[in-house]
Structure 1
Amino acid sequence: MNARTPSRRTLLRAMAVLPASAFLAAELPVLAGTAQAAAPAAGSADRYTIVAFTNASDATVNVYQSDDATDFRLLKSAAYTPPADRIRDASVFRHTDGAYYLTYTTHTWQDASTTIGFARSTDRTTWTHLYDHTVPIADLSRAWAPEWFVDTDGSVNVVVSCSVTSDEWNFTPYLLRATTSALTAWTAPVALAGIGPNHIDTFVVKTGSTYHAFTKNETTKYIEYATATSLAGPYTLRKTGDWAGWGSYREGPALVKLDNGGWRLFFDGYGAGQYYFSDSYDTFTTWSAPQALPGISGTARHFTVLQERVTASAVLTAGTTRSLQSVNFPTRHWQNQSGLLNLPVVGSSGTAAERQASTFSVVAGLADGNAFSFRDSAGNYLRHYGFRARFDPNDGTSTFAGDATFVARAGTTGGSVRLESYNYPGRYLRHSSYQLRVDPADGSDLFRSDSSFAPVTALA
């Protein structure tokens, strides 16, 4: 929804660029609830997948992909259209058979909806409708926002928000458990004890022996937090109101665990027409200030995020010497110019000094051995300071190590790489006016191209 469009339930009830002068200023302090990035092991990569309907249509869904849980790009538009009705609030997971499964709301918000839909894919982009499952609740009016939950015993469950005809906008979360490995049959629904009516979009994760539920209070419009020692409850509501600083008119909470040990919560800020994320590194006690997802905020609606570790080709290798070529300006390469990293035109015909200044040693990251650092011929390290890329001698501090460490992510072309700041996740080395900076990804194809570089044979 856009900022002028109220929530589906509300309708029914009613019926950052720094100036040049800052280049050498001290960087911003790390905010509460943030942490460093974490690099996947060599030969592997992170992959985060979203399957979402959009503001424009709830008749189909798009598939988006990211390798940092922040910068999502469109993988396929109109990837799945059910044979009838609608698809909203899609939740995705990967089953033990290696296939991907969707469950979703089958009708638009105006209509009664007594079923939840299921679809299957082997590649995340081509989906086959499996069936619509009628949720067996007497006098059911609406079954909305089904969410997958796979328990530590391997059981596959769906948590779905349901209302009855006598009070059709008063939702209660119910639990269904698959009774076949093919996910073709389900137990009778059981209400999640302790959360109770007037809660919708309930999402559950488990840490140790504790189940954590995030659920929207439909009266206050805040996302609340509850815990239990059993999946079906009883849950105890631990946090209500604006306890995490996310604000009101928020819905569709969904969590994913990040490589650095934190948890990221995504939610639909429909009151502002935006989609947000917020991180916690102390098991849900405190949270970072919510940030709009670049690129898809305001477009994608209510989704979950699937995190996977996948095989990747090693574009960078520690212990090698390389030059770094711009993907979208291939005659230009990284070059140390008076201690600053710039992107001039340079090639094999350049002077010996120019070619030497464009040649770098690739080494294991100072702060994370699975990430990378870069040294020039004088032994100085590439680091960011005031978010400007520059070369300095290693002073041995943890701050310098973080500034000089970059996590390799997939570039826009084969054989290219994007370099994410280790201590400022979501910021990438990119060229702007042929100067290299560490800037936050904005979700655009231009930014991805500006931040993609091909490691090529050393010029010197």
Structure 2
Amino acid sequence: MIREDRPIAASDAAGASPLAPSRRSLLRAMAALPASAVLLGGLPGLLGTAAAAAPPRGSATRYTIVPFLNSTDGTVNVYQSDDATEFRLLKASAYTPPANRIRDASIIKHTDGYYYITYTTHTWQDTSTTIGFARSSDRVNWTFLYDYTVPIANLSRAWAPEFFVDSDGSVNILVSCSTTNDQWIFTPYLLRATNSALTAWSSPVALSGIGANHIDTFVVKIGSTYHAFTKNETSKYIEYATATALAGPYTIRRTGNWAGWGSTREGAALIQLDNGAWRIFFDGYGDSSYYYSDSYDTFATWSAPKKLPGISGTARHFTVIKETVSGGVTLPTGVTRSFRSGNFTTRHWQDQSGLLNLPVVTSSSTTAEKQAATFTIVAGLADGNGYSFRNAAGNYLRHWDFRARLDANDGTSTFARDATFIARTGTASGSVRLESYNYPGYYLRHYNYQLRVDPSDGTDLFRQDSSFVAVNPL
């Protein structure tokens, strides 16, 4: 049965099993009660310029996460995504440790070609003095390696180990540890691998400057600066600190609700997107949801947090690995094409008085109607690895108020970004999905037979509505 499109409410901004309890949500009651990245900009608080980073022709971006589940911490699923927004299940229960539990898995790809995860080995109620390790050649089939006892005197709990590969290639782990004199007060410690097999580690060193009662510390490096995101267990807010050395001393620069993410947030993980922006993911354990938020100015300001579609409420505490892999979708540039809907196969893009709609266009349509449904594909105005689309009058497809329209290029960087799209694989054979360059996770899609740029809701229907096939000009 074919679904009819239905109207959408106008609410856009202008152009531009039972739930498992959170370990942290019970701490007070129990107590007494990745990788280096390119330089984006200057010092924190100064405006940075996002670097163009869309995948080259013939390649695709792949993001992988290995979260434990809201319903169980006895196993992990593997999910992958091409846009860091829509994560689709690659394998359920992909790894179950031979004993104990698996929580807070952090993933890297090592120089030996294997993927490694390190993880918390016990549930939040139990003493947990070890962190676990497993590896995989394909991200799907995992082999247990060993449990490592973190050598801290009177250790009570070692939680949330996070891999960090420094710019010198060294592999490090940041782990939150508490001792028996106060098992709910955590301090971040640094371990460094002393062999390439990742089986031997340096003595733990507390990160200077962050201090006790901080947990889930995650670090990225930009230029010569280390940027740490860490949860203050008293205030329940994720704080921000910087240092010139991985071990510190760190200076905490932002506290409280500085980024607008709210409280009862934890498990921060960051990754750089294809358009150069930074995305943070965090576990909103207070409402059993998972969120993401983006920054374009070296962490000074952040977009309003959004729930991660599809897996929010299912996935718990993960980190993300980003890779460029072969494949993906390549569109020919410098040629004219028409674009057919992947799920309404008689309907095509058409310029109608400057707005892009999806009417029925066939071989019997008028010459003018066919011409209005024909576009030239060119390299992206904001990123040559992306794509822009031009009509016969020389106007470009862009979004304004999230509506797709055809406008003359005014030469501004805003227009260039509005008119640039990153190609992602569509649902129908040979189809493409076009992700907005400056609104990651937003796709060109049809609704009520109008073309818009809307945020993905993670459903198959949305993926179908945002899939188009480039065909010979009508």
The reply to whether residue 274 of structure 1 matches residue 285 of structure 2 is: no
Please say if residues 37 and 422 of structure 1, whose CA atoms lie closer than 8 Å, have aligned partners that are also in contact: no
Tell me the equivalent position of 2:438. Answer: 423
Whole-Å Cα distance in 1 between the matches of residues 166 and 395 of structure 2?
A: 49
Tell me the equivalent position of 1:333. Answer: 348
What code does the residue aligned with 1:155 have?
Answer: S
Q: Percent identity?
A: 75
Deviation of the 1:49 alpha carbon: 1.4
Tell me the equivalent position of 1:256. Answer: 271
Whole-Å Cα distance in 2 between the matches of residues 221 and 183 of structure 1?
A: 33
Aligned counterpart for 2:240 among listed residues 220, 225, 230: 225
Tell me the equivalent position of 1:240. Answer: 255
Change (3 A) 1:372 1:140: same
Tell me the equivalent position of 1:106. Answer: 121
Deviation of the 1:351 alpha carbon: 5.1
The reply to whether residue 121 of structure 1 matches residue 123 of structure 2 is: no
Deviation of the 1:447 alpha carbon: 0.8
| SS of match in other structure, 1:13 | helix
| SS of match in other structure, 2:417 | helix
Change (3 A) 1:414 1:132: farther
Deviation of the 1:159 alpha carbon: 0.9
Aligned counterpart for 2:461 among listed residues 439, 446, 450: 446
Whole-Å Cα distance in 2 between the matches of residues 274 and 318 of structure 1?
A: 41
Tell me the equivalent position of 1:359. Answer: 374
Judge which range, 80-89 or 276-285, deviates more.
Answer: 276-285
Aligned counterpart for 1:210 among listed residues 191, 214, 225: 225
Instruction: Show structure 1 runs of 5+ residues with no match.
Output: 16-31
Tell me the equivalent position of 1:19. Answer: none
Please say if residues 25 and 286 of structure 2, whose CA atoms lie closer than 8 Å, have aligned partners that are also in contact: no
Please say if residues 58 and 330 of structure 2, whose CA atoms lie closer than 8 Å, have aligned partners that are also in contact: no
Tell me the equivalent position of 1:307. Answer: 322
Tell me the equivalent position of 1:63. Answer: 78
| SS of match in other structure, 1:10 | helix
Change (3 A) 1:331 1:129: farther
Tell me the equivalent position of 2:336. Answer: 321
Aligned counterpart for 1:201 among listed residues 216, 231, 255: 216
Tell me the equivalent position of 2:103. Answer: 88
Deviations 1:124-181 (A, max 9, x none): 1221111111212222221110000111111111111111223111111111111111
Please say if residues 315 and 415 of structure 1, whose CA atoms lie closer than 8 Å, have aligned partners that are also in contact: no
Deviation of the 1:333 alpha carbon: 2.5
Deviation of the 1:252 alpha carbon: 0.6
Change (3 A) 1:194 1:449: same
Deviations 1:239-293 (A, max 9, x none): 2222222221111111112343332221112112222222233333333332222
Aligned counterpart for 2:396 among listed residues 355, 372, 381: 381
Deviation of the 1:182 alpha carbon: 1.2
Please say if residues 37 and 407 of structure 1, whose CA atoms lie closer than 8 Å, have aligned partners that are also in contact: no
Change (3 A) 1:381 1:122: same
- Summarize the alignment of residues 127-138 of structure 1 with structure 2, pairs less than 5 Å apart: 127-138=142-153
What code does the residue aligned with 2:323 have?
Answer: E
Deviation of the 1:101 alpha carbon: 0.7
Change (3 A) 1:431 1:281: closer
| SS of match in other structure, 1:69 | coil
The reply to whether residue 368 of structure 1 matches residue 383 of structure 2 is: yes
Whole-Å Cα distance in 2 between the matches of residues 161 and 278 of structure 1?
A: 24
Tell me the equivalent position of 1:13. Answer: 28
Judge which range, 229-238 or 4-13, deviates more.
Answer: 4-13
TM-score with structure 2 length normalisation? 0.86
Whole-Å Cα distance in 1 between the matches of residues 400 and 28 of structure 2?
A: 51
Whole-Å Cα distance in 2 between the matches of residues 44 and 187 of structure 1?
A: 38
| SS of match in other structure, 1:101 | strand
Please say if residues 171 and 199 of structure 1, whose CA atoms lie closer than 8 Å, have aligned partners that are also in contact: yes
Whole-Å Cα distance in 2 between the matches of residues 401 and 227 of structure 1?
A: 33
Instruction: Show structure 2 runs of 5+ residues with no match.
Output: 1-16, 31-46
